[in-house]
Chain A
Amino acid sequence: MKADRREFLKKSAALTAASLVGINLKLDKGSLITKANAQEWMDEEEDLLQVPEEVKNSPSYKEDDDGTVWVRGVCRFCGTGCKVWLGFRDGKPAIIRGVEDSAINHGLLCMKGMLFYKLFRHPDRLTRPLYRKSKKEPFRPISWDKAFEIMADEMIKAIKKGRWAPFGWSSIAYYGSGQCLTEETYLLQKLFRCIGTNNIEGNPRLCMASAVGGYLTNYGTDEPAGGYADLDKAETIFIIGSNTAEAHPIVYARVMKRKLNNPNDVMVINADPRISPTSRIADIHLQFKPGTDLALLNAIAHVIVYEGLYNKDFVNKYVRFHAFTPGKDKNPLIGHEVSFEEYKKFLKKYTPEYAARVCGGNITPEIIRKVARRIATTKTVTMWTMGINQRTRGVWANNLITNIHLLTGNLCKDGADSLSLTGQPNACGGVREGGGLCHILPGHRVVKSAKDRHELEKIWGVPKGTIPPKPGHHTVKMFSAVSFTEEDKKRFGFKDPRDKIRFIWINETSPLQSLPNLRRFVEAFAKDDVFVVVSDIFPTRTTEYANLILPAAFHFEKTGVYGCTERRSQLTPKAVKAPGEAMPEAWMVVKFAQVLAKKLEKESDPRLRKRAYTVYKAVEPFIKVAEEDPWYGLSKAIWNEYAGKVTKGRDSDLSGATYEVLLERPDGVQWPAPTVEIARKGGTLRRFVVGKDPIATELARKYPEKFKGWKVIDYGHLHKDYRFWAWLRPYKGPAEAPDAEYPFYLSTGRVIDHWHTSSMTGRIPELMRDYPHAWVEINPKDAERLGIGPGDLVLIETRRGRNIIPARISTQQGPMEGMVFVYWYDQDKNRMINFCTKDAFDPGSKEPEYKICACRIRKYAPAQPLKPFLTKLEEVGEEEYLHNSELNKEEKLAD
C-alpha cells in the first residue's frame, strides 16, 4: 500500500505540474464549480416557503429571531425515522438540523439527512409530464389532462388484452415503494383493487418481506414488540446481517453512545461475513461463511437449552413451539404445535462443534458458547436487516433470532427486544400497514380472508366482491409477467398468453436498477408491448424505459406520514413550493381515477363497465379536496379515512394519531394508539405488555379469569392461544453456493453516503464526490493470490451477468476470504451489480436472495480514473427529450 501511495504522489505531482503548462488536463470552470451550494439552483426572486396555516399554528413551525423559519418533518433517507427541522432563509431551504427533543435521533443526523435540502431545486428535477408513444421516440411534454387521458386509454387497452383471473385483471400492475407516503400507498392500492386487480406490489418485498414472515409466525402479527429505546438499557446488543453504521447511522450512534458510556457493562456483538464499519464498536465480531447463520443461531439456542439457561417461567407461561411439515400442515403460518422436549430433540444436532464446522470463518465452539451465555444472562437487543431478510430462508432466519429472545425472555421488557430494522422510511407504515403488497390489505388485513375484504369494501362503500379474492403476483413474479420469456413462463406457470403484464405504474422507485438478475427485465421493458408509467422526481434507470413520466412533488413539497422501524408514525407537512408542474401522487390518483371511471363507463364489456362505479367510489371522498388543497388537505382527508376508519380496532390502530396530534408530537406516535389521549403521550412503546399496551390491557380487563397472572399477552390474530411461538427451523444453505466454476460468494450492500439507486444522493455534490462509483471489496489474501491491486478494474462474472468494478482492498474493512462485496447504488451499466445477483426467493416471503450468489473474479484492467454516471434527460430537439443513456449508443454491457 505504501509503495502505491508513493507512486500516486509521484504521478499526481507530475500530473499537476503538467497541467500547469497546459498538457493533458482540461480545466473547465463549469465542471469545477458544480453548484454544490443549493442556493445557486434557486431563483433569487422566488419565495419557496409555502406552509399551510394549520401547520403554521402548530409546534411543527417556528421562526427564529434571525429570520430563519423552521418546519418540522422526518428524514426520508432510511428506516430510522430521524426527525428534522428544515430551515428557510430568505424564503429558501437553507439548512437541515436534527430535532433535539425527538426520542429517535435526539438532534443527530447523518450526511444524507443534513444535505437533502439541496435537491429541492436541482436542475435535473422532473417538472412536466413527458410522453412518448414508442420507447424508440423522444419524450415530449404534455399537459396533466392529456397524460391522464393516455394513461386511462392504455390501461383499458391492456386490460382488454388480459383476462380476469382469481386475483383480478391479469395484465395491469402497480409497483410502489417504501418511500411513498402512507396516504399515497393507501390510496393507490385502494384504486387498483377497485379497478379490479391485486397485482399491487412494492419494493418492500425486496427488503422487509422476510421480517414480516418472521413476525407473523413468531408473534402472529407483524412488527416488533419494543423499539430503539431498548438500546439505551440493553446490556448486550447483538447485530446480525446489518451494517447498521452505514445503513442506519443514527441507530448506530445510539449503540455507540450506549457502549462508550458503559464500556465494561455493555457488549456489542456483530455477526457478519464481512468486517464493516459497524464492527468498529463491536467487542466480538462473528465471521461465518455466507448463509450458514441458521446453523449458528440454532447452535446458540442449543447452548441456551442444553445448559438450562432458558427462562423457564417465561417459556412455560408465554411460549409454545411450532413446526411446519409440508404436505401435512395446511397453513405454513400455523404449522402444528410440538412440545418443548421435541424442540430440544430438534436442537440436539446443532452443537457448537457442529455449527463451528458448518460456519467456518472465526466461529469456534467456545465463541458460540460465550455469545449464547451472554445473551441468556443479560438484557439483549438483537437487530438485523438485509443480511437476514434477503435470503431464500429469510423467514427461517428471522424465526431463529426471535426464538433466542423467546427462550431467554428477552422480550417485552426494558432493554430487550428482537428488533428488525426497516430499510426504508415508510416500508412499515406505508406498505406493511397500508396494504401495499399483493397479498395484504390495509390495517394488517389479508386478501385471502373474505371477512377482511368485506370489512374493507364496507368502509370504502363499494359492492361486496370488489376486491378480487386471491393475492396477485409477488415482485419477481410480477416483473417476470412483464418479461414473459419462455423461462419465466415455465418457472411461474404462465400458460395463458393473456397473463403478460402490459401496463404498469411504477411509483417512487427504480426497479430497473434494483431488481435482481436484471437483464431480462431491462430487455423486456425496452419493448413496446408494455406501457410503462413512472412517477418520480428525477430521471432514473427506470424512467429510461417509460412511456409516460409523471413529475412528482418531493418530500416537504407535499404532506404525509411515514412509519418507521418501531411502529412509529410521523408527519412531514408541506413547506416548499414544488417546481414546475410537479404534483403529489395522491392528487394524480384522484385525477386519473376520474378520467378512468368516465372511460370505463363507455365500455361495452359489463365487467369493465361495472368497474367505473368502484373506481369513482375509490376517490369520491377526495375529489373536492384534491381540487382545493392537493398539498395538505388532500393528504389529511386520506389519513382520516385510513387511520380513523381502516386501522380502527386493528392492532395497528392509529385512530388516535390525527394530524393535529402528529403536528404536536416531536417524535410521532407508536401504534397501537386507539385514542387521542394515548396518541398525545406517544402511543405504545411496549407492545403486548399488560398495563402498557392498551390492547393487552383491555384483554386482561375483559377476561380476568383467562389472563389471571399474565403480564404479557400475544394478541397476534394468528395466535389463538395468545402466546408467542418459537419455530423449529433446520439449517439450510443458500440457493447458489460457490463451486469450481464460480468459486466466490458475491454479496451486495449500501454505503452511508448513498441512498438506494443514488438518483437523489448522486445529485448532492458532497455525497457523489465521496462515493462517485461502486467498489468491489476483496479480501487482501484473495487479491494477492489473483494479482489484483487497489483500484484495479475487476471483472465479476456470475451465471447471469458481468460487471467491471474497481477493487477496494483493505485490512480494516471487507469480506472474509472467498467472498466479494459490491455496493449497489451505481447507475453505470457496467457497475450495476444487479445484473449479476440471483433472483431465487424465499418460498414464504418471496424475497430474493440478493445477499448470496456465486461468482468468479479476475483482474480486467489496471487502476484508472472512472467517470461517475447518473441518468439524465437531455434536450435533443425542440421540446424533445431523451435520456443521456439512450443517446449514448456505446453504452452497453461488458462482453
Chain B
Amino acid sequence: MMGKKVGLIVLSSFLLGASAFAFSFETHPVPPDVIRLLPPQYQQCSSCHADVTPKIYQSWKASKHYIANVKCFQCHGTFNDFYKVPPISKCEACHYQEVKTMKEKAPNMTCWDCHPAHIFEFHGKGVSSKK
C-alpha cells in the first residue's frame, strides 16, 4: 500500500520536474517546492528516506558518518545541486589525501568501490592511520 503511494509521489513528481524545466544537474524526484509546502516534520531527508530507501538509510545510520553528523546533503547536495551519485570531489573536503592517493594508484576507481556506499566501512590502515 505504502509502496504504491511512494511510487505515486516519485512518478508524479518526476513528471512535474521534467515537464517544468530542464536541469543541467540531476533532479531530486520530489521537487523542492513540494517539500517546502509540507509541514516541518517532513522536510528533512530522513523523514522520507527512512521509508523510501530503508536500506540506504539504515546503512548510513550504522555508519561513522551518522555518528559524526555527516548528513545527506554534504555528499548529494541539496535540491539545487542534487547528485544521485555524488562526484568524488565531494569526498575531498575531508578525505583529500585519501582521494589523491586513490587517484594516483587507481585512477578509474571510486571511494565506494571498496568502502560500500553509506556504511563506508574501512579497513584500518592506509592513509587515515596517520591521523
Contact = CB atoms under 8 A, between A and B. Distances in A.
A48 interface: no
A107 B47 contact: no
Interface of A: 4-6, 8-13, 15-17, 19-20, 25-29, 31-37, 85, 95-98, 100, 106-111, 113-114, 245-246, 249, 252-253, 256-257, 260, 277, 280-281, 752-753, 765-766, 769-770, 772-773, 775, 790-791, 806, 808, 863-866
A257 B122 CA distance: 13
B77 A766 contact: yes
Contacts of A863: 39-41
B38 interface: yes
Given A25-B37, A96-B93, A253-B68, A12 B42 contact: yes
B96 to A, nearest CB: 5
B106 interface: no
A19 B37 CA distance: 11
B38 A245 contact: no
Interface residues of B, number: 50
Nearest to B42: A8
Contacts of A33: 80
A769 B78 contact: yes
Contacts of B36: 865
Contacts of A32: 21, 31-33, 79-80
Nearest to A257: B131
A770 B73 contact: yes
A37 B69 contact: no
Contacts of B130: 106
Interface centre among B9, B21, B68, B96 (most CB of A within 10 A): B68
B76 to A, nearest CB: 10
Interface string B36-71: 111111111001000100000000000010111111
20 contacts: A8-B39, A9-B6, A10-B5, A13-B9, A16-B9, A16-B34, A19-B16, A27-B16, A32-B33, A32-B79, A33-B80, A106-B131, A107-B95, A109-B94, A245-B69, A256-B67, A260-B67, A280-B67, A769-B78, A770-B44
B123 to A, nearest CB: 13
B131 A95 contact: no
B105 to A, nearest CB: 17
A16 B69 contact: no
A773 B41 CA distance: 11
Contacts of A260: 64, 67
Contact of B71 (A98, A100, A770): A770
A864 B64 contact: no
A10 B4 CA distance: 10
B30 interface: yes
B42 to A, nearest CB: 5
A13 B39 contact: no
Contacts of B43: 772
B87 to A, nearest CB: 11
Interface string B1-18: 010011011001101100
B110 interface: no
B62 to A, nearest CB: 12
Interface in B72-127: 73-74, 77-81, 89, 92-97
A98 B51 CA distance: 34
Most-contacted residue by chain B among A25, A752, A769 (CB, 10 A): A769
Contacts of B32: 32, 769
B43 to A, nearest CB: 7
A772 B96 CA distance: 30
Given A12-B9, A37-B81, A791-B42, 5 more contacts: A27-B31, A95-B92, A280-B66, A769-B78, A863-B40
